[in-house]
Amino acid sequence: MIKCSICGKDENSLIRVKHRKLGTIKLCFECWEVEIGNNNLLRDGFDCCK
């Protein structure tokens, strides 16, 4: 299991994103929704990681 970089929740599959302040991180879907809504994610690509 991998932990979300924001909330620390253990997940089997996370979304790897480029965060405006934190660089490349892995997020659960719930944190991704919040961060994308706050315009904290750079939109040059998202992919799944394990």
Given this model, what pLDDT does residue 37 score?
92
pLDDT in tens, the chain (50 residues): 889 999 999 988 999 999 999 999 999 999 999 999 999 998 765 555 54
User: DSSP per residue over 13-44, as a string?
Assistant: SEEEEEETTTEEEEE-HHHHHHHHHTT-EEEE
Given this model, what pLDDT does residue 35 score?
94
Given this model, what pLDDT does residue 43 score?
72
**For residues 25 and 34, what is the distance between their CA atoms, to the nearest angstrom?**
14
The amino acid at residue 34 is V
Given this model, what pLDDT does residue 46 score?
54
Given this model, what pLDDT does residue 42 score?
87
